[in-house]
């Protein structure tokens, strides 16, 4: 990616303009996969062993080098909240659900888990650093005003770059009504940024219009690709109880994840830098939710 975007950082009352570049690691040595396993009814499956998984990279079988069941690696959550003009009607209710989510997030799990709040409209703003202080997150959500366009792709590039600087598991939760209207970054730059920074994306598409004719279907399809490609999931909740339930579902996934990692070996290269990864279990009827690939070496 050759372009930069002016990004507004608003942290601890200090406003700073910066030229933000995504953090891209140029060499892939260890491929990490955060995986959730579900049965045919959608129930979470725990208790699987390293030997129960099969991994292939561009079709070549790989050996699992690192395995953790219900991994206790610290969790970093980048909360990306859409405050463009089209979200005005539902923004108050989205903030209320986010506040409940942050309290639950830190009520259990690893004591090193942290979250940061970002907002985006025509610009992207980091409202807090990564923190465990619920009050700091709550305070940053007060007084937000919905206005202007939507720089969704820029938000994903920035959030993935910030997550890439952190150890452990990296998760991005995007709350939006779908679509991108003002980004400098492209869809492909955002997707590659997420992959290169090992970021799992969960998308909350809060759609105020049920009729397809009034919705940004293209934007919603982009969010599906972001989520499915990185091992996350897309939700289509209304505000209130349905949005709370979607947040609860994400937390359940995060608390029951497996960590699988391997060093690519004897992988056939193509002209495409994107390597396709497939993860299966030996047991029939189980579905593995994980990233579909990564950016690595290609044929010169």
β-pairing, 124-126 with 169-176?
Answer: unpaired
Question: What are the sequence ranges of the domains in the chain?
Answer: 1-300
**Can you give the pLDDT at residue 94?**
96
Q: What does the block give as tokens for 108?
A: 């259990």
Burial 41-80 (b: 16+ CB within 10 A, else e): eeeebeebeeebbebebbeeebebeebeeebebebbbbbb
Query: Class of 1-300 per CATH?
Result: alpha beta
**Can you give the pLDDT at residue 176?**
95
DSSP string covering 39-71: -TTS-B-----GGGEEEEETTEEE---EEETT-
Question: Residue 95, Cα to own-chain centre: how many angstroms?
Answer: 18
pLDDT tens digit sequence for 195-228? 999 999 999 999 755 555 455 576 789 999 999 9
Burial 87-115 (b: 16+ CB within 10 A, else e): beebbeebbebbeebbeebbeeeeeebbb
The low-confidence residues of the chain, meaning pLDDT below 70, are 1-28, 208-216, 218
- Give CA–CA dist 126/160, Å, rounded: 12
**Can you give the pLDDT at residue 24?**
40
CB atoms within 10 A of CB 199: 26
- Give CA–CA dist 17/24, Å, rounded: 21
β-pairing, 274-281 with 293-295?
Answer: antiparallel
Which residues is 295 bridged to in the sheet?
A: 274
25 three-class SS: coil
Interacting residues of 33 by C-beta distance below 8 A, sequence separation 6+: 55, 231, 259, 260, 261, 277, 279, 290, 291
Which element (helix H / strand E) includes 194?
A: helix 187-196
No. of H helices and E strands in the chain? 6, 16
Helices (H), 75-186: 91-105, 134-141, 152-164
């Amino acid at each position: 990616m050759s372009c930069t975007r002016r990004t507004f950082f608003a942290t601890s009352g200090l406003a700073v303009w910066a030229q933000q570049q995504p953090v891209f690691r140029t060499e892939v040595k260890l491929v990490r996969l955060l995986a959730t396993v579900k049965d045919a009814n959608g129930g979470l499956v725990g208790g699987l062993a390293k030997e129960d998984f099969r991994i292939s990279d561009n079709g070549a079988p790989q050996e699992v080098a690192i395995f953790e069941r219900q991994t206790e690696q610290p969790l970093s959550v980048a909360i990306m909240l859409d405050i463009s003009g089209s979200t005005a009607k539902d923004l108050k209710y989205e903030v209320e659900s986010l506040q409940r989510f942050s309290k639950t997030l830190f009520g259990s799990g690893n004591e090193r888990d942290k979250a940061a709040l970002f907002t985006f409209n025509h610009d992207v703003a980091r409202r807090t650093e990564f923190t465990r202080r619920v009050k700091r997150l709550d305070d940053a959500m007060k007084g937000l005003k919905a206005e202007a366009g939507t720089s969704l792709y820029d938000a994903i590039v920035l959030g993935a770059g910030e997550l890439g600087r952190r150890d452990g598991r990296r998760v991005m939760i995007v709350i939006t009504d779908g679509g991108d209207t003002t980004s400098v970054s492209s869809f492909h730059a955002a997707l590659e940024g997420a992959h290169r920074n090992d970021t799992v994306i969960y998308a909350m598409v809060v759609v105020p219009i049920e009729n397809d004719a009034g919705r940004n279907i293209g934007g919603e399809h982009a969010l599906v690709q972001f989520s499915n490609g990185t091992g996350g999931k897309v939700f289509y909740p209304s505000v209130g109880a349905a949005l709370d339930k979607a947040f609860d579902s994400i937390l359940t996934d995060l608390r029951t994840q497996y960590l699988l990692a391997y060093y690519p070996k004897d992988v056939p290269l193509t002209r495409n830098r994107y390597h396709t990864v497939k993860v299966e279990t030996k047991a029939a009827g189980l579905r593995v939710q994980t990233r579909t690939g990564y950016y690595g070496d290609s044929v010169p």
